Amino acid sequence: MNITVVGLGKIGLPLAVQFAKSGHRVFGADTNPAVVEIVNSGKAPFPGEDHLDDYLAEVVPGQLTATTDTAGAVRDSEAVVVVVPLFVDAEARPDFGMMDSATAAIAEGLTAGTTVIYETTLPVGTTRTRWKPRLEEGSGLSEGTDFHLVFSPERVLTGRVFADLRKYPKLVGGLSEEGAQRALHFYEQVLQFDERPDLERGNGVWDLGSAEAAEMAKLAETTFRDVNIGLANQFARFAADNGIDIYQVIDASNSQPYSHIHRPGIAVGGHCIPVYPRLYLWNDPEATVVSAARAANAAMPDYVVAQATALSGGSLAGKKVAVLGAAYRGGVKETAFSGVFPTVEAVRTAGGEVVVHDPMYTNDELRQFGWEPYALGEQADIAIVQADHAEYKDVTAEQLPGVSLVMDGRNILDASQLPGVTVVSVGRPVEESSQ
């Protein structure tokens, strides 16, 4: 097949490489000329994705070509896979701007016989009510007759995309039965799956019967995680106030097979978990459980900073506070919805002087966010672990000179490496945390 992947970001580019490695001719379309140039040189435009550099070198030049001409690439393709970002605004409303532009370009190049598959996570109903009429109007073709439209959510994490593509079933939902069958055939040709004896249905491509069911499946699996973490965070706050170690409670609870309590922490970040519950709420504003969990998780940076403030005599004025970790999670150079932003703001509101450290970012990159960089070994008064980078797990008192209090927002520190320092983990009483 000739395949176009629209959007060469942290999900789209590995997908394009996967398709090319499976023996197909792939066009990677992106509006950023710099990204196109880098990909065509055989290099990845971002770090941290396992195997991407090696795999990209195998398919460029030859099987994969990047281009800024989306319409032209679509015109030459039998299948089009769309992985363009969808953001939410400050009021948690979907911002379809980038996807609308990409859809217009796809419609311009759309020809009869093409299957168009959206993988970007969407509110329920978007494929049918937004993309179908736009594609039909822009192309002059009829969906279900001239071309077919399908939703198939991406279900991978950055950093391990290729492994996740093999590990999890590929969900598809068409607007027509023929569209669904075409999508099944497509993904069976471009993906390979690990054996999953734990799945009664078996691993592979699963037809969920409708685009709406596939849209909701992605929202449900990610919203579940946000709700679960929100519950864990509420448990953690209660446990800490009542002299209980929440991690012992969680491990004990999860020893029974019907309990799957997640870990609490200072923040829930990234493109997925903080965003997709809002997309679900856009369709279902009466989902009080979802909205309460989102509020509980959003409150955690303020909670941790308030703890630090209370343990510092009720004020951070005159205190130098080092926030460790700008990324939303360890080992990933990405700040989308990272807890660093509300943490920094909370420290500043409390009167503290904020400095930020992250092993994946240069000082200049940190300054571009408006933060003063911090280096391990420099003087500070308080440290707050915001990201669970591996580099922080064995941090020592010598690396944090002058620090008398560490708020371990990810419960990763070895307190024995920090003698004389009060170490407080989310969900543990202060006295026990410091041991």
CA 425 from centre of chain? 24
Rounded CA-CA distance 15/27 in Å is 11
Q: Within 13 Å, how many C-alpha atoms sit on residue 298's CB side?
A: 12
Residues forming a β-bridge with 95: 87
DSSP 8-class letter at 41: T
User: 10, 132, 272, 320: which is the annotated catalytic residue?
Assistant: 272
Rounded CA-CA distance 85/262 in Å is 27
* 83: nearest Cα among 38, 138, 133, 120: 120
Q: Tokens at residue 122, please?
A: 């969407």
Question: Does the annotation mark 218 as catalytic?
Answer: yes
Q: Which amino acid is at 341?
A: F
Rounded CA-CA distance 305/311 in Å is 10
Instruction: Work out the angle at residue 375's Cα, subtended by the Cα atoms of residues 370 and 376, and round it to the nearest 5 degrees.
Output: 140
Helix then strand count (H, E) for the chain reads 17, 16
Q: Are strands 87-88 and 94-95 parallel, antiparallel or unpaired?
A: antiparallel
Question: Does the annotation mark 167 as catalytic?
Answer: no
* 376: nearest Cα among 329, 323, 417: 323
CA 318 from centre of chain? 36
Alpha helices of 69-117 — where are they, by DSSP H? 70-75, 97-109
Q: Tokens at residue 272, please?
A: 């997925």
Question: Cβ contacts of residue 90 below 8 Å, gap of 6+?
Answer: none
* 219: nearest Cα among 272, 265, 267, 174: 272
* 160: nearest Cα among 298, 29, 51, 69: 51
User: 21, 132, 170, 218: which is the annotated catalytic residue?
Assistant: 218
Contact by Cβ (8 Å): 222, 124: no
What DSSP assignment string belongs to 355-381? EEE-TTS-HHHHHHTT-EE--TTS--S
Rounded CA-CA distance 344/353 in Å is 9
Contact by Cβ (8 Å): 353, 319: yes
Q: Which residues have a catalytic role annotated?
A: 218, 272
